[in-house]
Amino acid sequence: MGEAVGGRRVPDRWAKAAADRLLKKLGPAQLLWGSEWPNVTTAHAYAPSYAETLAWLGELVPDDDTRGRILSETPAALYGFRN
């Protein structure tokens, strides 16, 4: 991706650097994904779809296992969800 700011608030390269640093320092067991979608639609000229925000997470965290932990295992542990 380029240098889009819009609903993402920061340039992609900044977000990627932050994601890499957080993963290195904290690991996926300490991270979970959150989105303010659809609330960005009223505050910003560019309003990404939910699918676009999730796709951006895929770019920031390209490893499927790591992303799975961030999307599933970490929030399940935080909120005490059980299968």
**Exposed, middle or buried, 42 (CB in 10 Å: 0-12/13-18/19+)?**
exposed
Q: What's the pLDDT tens digit per position in 22-57?
A: 999 999 999 988 876 666 655 556 667 778 888 889
Residue 40's CB is within 10 A of a number of other CB atoms, namely 17
> In this structure, are residues 70 and 32 in contact, taking their beta carbons and an 8 Å threshold?
yes
Q: For residue 37, which of 22, 51, 55 has the smallest C-alpha distance?
A: 51
Average pLDDT score over residue span 50-79: 92
CB 70: neighbour CB atoms within 10 A? 24
pTM score of the predicted model: 0.74
